[in-house]
Chain A
């Protein structure tokens, strides 16, 4: 049987141009064919869920709720477009400059068929939440709270802020609401991921290092990178230190994040919701 593959589709730029001019011609990758009756949609969503687990869950998590690498897809608003055609494009072509690969580039040689991509999209639609934090939170108030709570001491947004913690410019769309809440309430449970090297399987995490140098100087900081023999660390004054482990008097690494845990007394649930609404508005502006 002839199996259409992703190279049947046109290059991205050209495809966009075609979409712009030929709105009347609905092509295979523009409209979900499985939206007709509820029964078909349900069946296709089920098939799509299996495809999702096999192809997408590694990064986007079970239930599409977001994982360590990929955004929460249960959110109605997607960073790279929320319409059916946008989702098809994102899945089929990937997102250049991000970890999202084109269909078929996940080492399996052959990717999903257009039908299977539509099944995945149907599945994603079935798990989307209609109400997001963005809709319920006050982004403007969140912005003020972000500054007032001194988040910017360690976190950068759009080039402004501190360097010790992860840049939060795209955190809003890249992480689920629950993940972000957890990161603030309980930052030690799941450390943020840092540098990801091209051929390395696992990213470095924002671990904390306590170091005593040969001359007895005590330093604490975030591990920028590490191997068996060396350590690259940023201290709380944003100084970068480069160490050979065997020349240190002592070296101890902990998974106790330098990010303080903020309980509901310090930042109320409502305040946190507003801050996350702010992060969402920054990462996926209207």
Chain B
């Protein structure tokens, strides 16, 4: 998956490329083959992470290290909605598709930001969106765009009108389920996972027929009775063991495997009552795309008591004959995993870690006994929000570096036993910052996957929730909690350009091109901003 296809290098060539898109090409069907060959049409951004490998890398290079300083805002689209705007837009043949807060969605003229259609999900008043009424984006396939909703539905919209084509219930949201991720379209399937690790759900990954909405398979992230791994749960705790899959997976067409990551066991920071490793919480799962059968798993944090969800997009990278998955985990370790076997290659800390001070024979970090939450509180790093979180990292094949948003924040973890009650928040614990501590901060870190070592870092004044994009222009784009969106030199980490968006960035950037012009897009506050050369 590291075939790197360069597109024409000059603006002129881009114009030629745009000219090749005859008007009839607008709204051509997005076939499964186009998704597989996403690298062949770098002017489009066809899926959440840009490609099936989850790299969030754009081969566009009109905007590059030489001219990034002249980047200018082109247009903004205001959703006028409160709360966090976490979506990554898709762009297909000049049209931008995005979702927003409260399951709204819109299609825009990607040149101007002018809306073509808008959609607003009629949500029940009692949805359970643990951590914000967010939606991270669409998947596209055929002539439909697909979103998951806070009331745990999957909805297919007509890409030309925004009309609902089909709408299926994955499960009863009142038990604490919701969907916040952007689905993944593969072959004729729409893949989703569920959120709800704070409500005692039983997580799963589903595949739906893109044409009809019929469910083709479901993989429960917690094995049922008789299944391998079921004995890693005490008593009936498996029924309410959480393990949601709330961030978009990746796909390897060579092995027909889709990779998904899972979140914390429930209750999130209290291990009492769920003795055992609690499979497959906080794990990387390799599933057969056609059947949903588990091929292998790797569990990052066993019997987790610190909310160390593994929910980062699995990033597929090939190094020679090694086929790998890279993940900077919430628990503070950067993992390299063999994606044909699920075996750990290496695990090195990329942020401050106090929960673990040893490794087992495979090299997997082991939790310290005294890192467990207590009634009076235990100070542990990283904190519950993790050394990073759902915001996307990027892998840049030009520098061979992995870039991730790191959060240097610790928390005090305290137990607060509570009985399970269906649909009710089920933490069993609490966590809060230690206000005696030095201020928390963040950094964009460039990590060499070959060694796990830090190549460079750019410090943020406070921890941020912005993801990262790399481009063939030698640039890294990211944002910060102070509202800046910025371009850095991928090789050195030097900031080349920045723009103040007016509110914290809670999203990952993307890039597209139209009419020979490359754009960079980012959501911040309640607006979607785009930037291009003057």
B329 at the interface (CB under 8 A from A): no
Bound CA–CA A197/B500 (angstroms): 14
* B416 A50 Cβ-Cβ under 8 A: yes
| Chain B residues within an 8 Å CB radius of A83 | none
B275 to chain A, nearest CB (A): 20
Q: Report the Cα distance A53→B483, complex, angstroms.
A: 31
Q: Are A110 and B128 in contact (CB under 8 A)?
A: yes
Measured CA separation A107–B125 after assembly (Å): 13
Task: Report if A5 contacts B (CB, 8 A).
Answer: yes
Please determine whether A109 and B416 come into contact, CB atoms closer than 8 angstroms. no
Which B residues are in CB contact (< 8 Å) with A199? Answer: 84, 481, 483, 503-504, 506, 525
The range of chain A's interface size is 20 to 34
List the A residue with the shortest CB-CB distance to B498. Answer: A229
Q: Kindly specify which of B34-42, B349-357, B428-436 makes contact with the partner chain.
A: B428-436
A53 touches B84 (CB 8 A): no
Could you say which residues of chain A place their CB within 8 Å of the CB of B462?
200-202
Q: Which residues of B contact A107 (CB under 8 A)?
A: 129-132
Report chain A residues within 8 Å CB of B480. 227-228
Whether A108 pairs with B525 at a CB distance below 8 angstroms is no
Give chain A residues whose Cβ lies under 8 Å from the Cβ of B167.
none
Among B69-77, B233-241, B243-251, B419-427, the one that faces the other chain is B419-427
Interface size on B, residues (CB 8 A): 51
Contact A110 B425 (CB under 8 A): yes
Tell me, yes or no, whether B438 is within 8 Å of chain A by CB: yes
Q: Is the CB of A190 within 8 A of B483?
A: no
* Complex CA distance for A255 and B438, rounded to whole angstroms: 9
Within the assembled complex, what's the spacing in Å between the Cα atoms of A108 and B463?
22
Residue A23 CB within 8 A of the other chain: no
Assembly CA distance A62 to B411 (angstroms): 13
Q: In the complex, are the beta carbons of B126 and A109 less than 8 A apart?
A: yes
Q: Hey, what's the 0/1 contact readout for A1-42 against B, CB within 8 Å counting as 1?
A: 000010100000000000000000000000000000000000
Taking CB atoms, residues of chain B closer than 8 Å to A200 are 462, 481-482, 504
Measured between beta carbons, the chain A residues less than 8 angstroms from B504 are 197, 199-201
Instruction: Tell whether, in the assembled complex, residue A68 and residue B433 are in contact, meaning their CB atoms are under 8 Å apart.
Output: yes
Which residues of B216-256 have CB atoms within 8 Å of chain A's CB atoms? none
Residue among A54, A55, A202, A229 with the highest chain B CB neighbour number at 10 A: A54
Does the CB pair A227–B128 fall under 8 Å?
no
Instruction: Determine the distance from Cα of A170 to Cα of B506 in the docked complex, in whole angstroms.
Output: 32
A62 in contact with B412 (CB, 8 Å): yes
Known contacts being A68-B433, A202-B462, A255-B438, is A110 close to B414, with CB within 8 Å?
Answer: no
Contact A110 B423 (CB under 8 A): yes
Q: Compute how far the CA of A110 lies from the CA of B424 in the bound complex, rounded to whole angstroms.
A: 7
Determine whether the beta carbon of B418 is less than 8 Å from that of A108: no
Q: How far is the CB of A207 from chain B (nearest CB, A)?
A: 8
**Are A226 and B503 closer than 8 Å at their CB atoms?**
no
Say whether, besides A199-B84, A202-B440, A58 and B423 are in contact (CB < 8 Å).
no
A53 x B481 contact (CB < 8 A): no
Contacts of B438 in A (CB 8 A): 255
Bound Cα distance A199, B127 (Å)? 22
A57-B414, A108-B130, A199-B506 in contact; A227/B482 too (CB < 8 A)?
yes
| Closest Cβ–Cβ distance, residue B461 to chain A (whole Å) | 6
Which of A51, A109, A226 is the one whose CB lies under 8 Å from B127?
A109
Q: What residues of chain A lie closer than 8 Å to B132, measured between beta carbons?
A: 107
Kindly state the separation between the CA atoms of A5 and B430 in the bound complex, as whole angstroms: 22
Is A67 at the interface (CB under 8 A from chain B)? yes
**Residues of chain A lying within 8 A (CB to CB) of residue B429:** 53-54
Q: How far is the CB of A109 from chain B (nearest CB, A)?
A: 4
* Binary A-proximity of B456-500 (CB < 8 A = 1, otherwise 0): 000111110100000000000000111110100000000100101
| Whole-angstrom distance between the Cβ of A60 and the nearest chain B Cβ | 9
- Tell whether A205 is near chain B: CB-to-CB under 8 Å: yes
- Choice from B425, B460, B495 contacting A54 with Cβ under 8 Å: B425
* A198 contacts the other chain (CB 8 A): yes
Q: Which residues of A contact B376 (CB under 8 A)?
A: 62
A107 and B500 alpha carbons, distance in the complex (Å): 27
Closest residue of chain A to B407, judged by CB?
A: A201
Chain B residues lying within 8 Å of A110, measured Cβ to Cβ, are 126, 128, 423-425
A199-B504, A201-B481 given; A67·B435 CB < 8 A = yes
In the complex, A68→B437 CA distance in Å?
A: 11
Residue of B nearest to A253 (CB): B461
Smallest Cβ distance from A4 to chain B, in angstroms?
A: 12
- Min Cβ gap A222→B in Å is 15
Q: Which residues of A contact B276 (CB under 8 A)?
A: none
| Interface: A247 (CB within 8 A) | no
Closest to B373 in A: A53
Partner among B418, B436, B460, B495 whose Cβ is within 8 Å of the Cβ of A51: B418
B396 at the interface (CB under 8 A from A): no
Report if A270 contacts B (CB, 8 A): no
Q: Which residues of the partner chain A approach B435 to less than 8 Å between Cβ atoms?
A: 67-68, 190
Docked pose: A90 CA to B169 CA in angstroms: 37
Report how far A23 CA is from B526 CA in the complex, Å: 45
Q: How far does the Cβ of A166 sit from chain B's closest Cβ, in whole Å?
A: 15
Residues of chain B contacted by A205 (CB below 8 angstroms) = 439
- Is there a chain B Cβ closer than 8 Å to A241's Cβ? no
B516 at the interface (CB under 8 A from A): no
Distance in Å: Cβ of B319 to nearest Cβ of chain A: 33
Asked if B377 and A109 make an inter-chain contact with CB atoms under 8 angstroms apart, the answer reads no
What mask results when residues 192 to 216 of chain A are scored 1 for a CB within 8 Å of chain B, else 0? 0000011111100100000000000
The answer to whether A190 touches B436 (Cβ under 8 A) is yes
Give 15 A-B contacts (CB < 8 Å), ordered by A residue. A7-B125, A53-B415, A54-B425, A54-B427, A62-B377, A109-B425, A190-B435, A197-B482, A199-B483, A199-B503, A199-B525, A200-B462, A202-B481, A228-B480, A228-B482
Nearest 5 CB-CB pairings of A with B:
A227-B482, A53-B416, A109-B128, A50-B416, A199-B504
**Chain B residues in contact with chain A, CB under 8 A?**
84, 125-132, 198, 376-377, 412, 414-418, 423-425, 427, 429-433, 435-436, 438-440, 459-463, 465, 480-484, 486, 495, 498, 500, 503-504, 506, 525
Q: Assuming A53-B414, A199-B525, what are 11 further A-B pairs, CB within 8 angstroms?
A: A51-B416, A61-B432, A62-B414, A67-B432, A109-B128, A109-B425, A189-B436, A190-B436, A199-B504, A226-B461, A227-B500
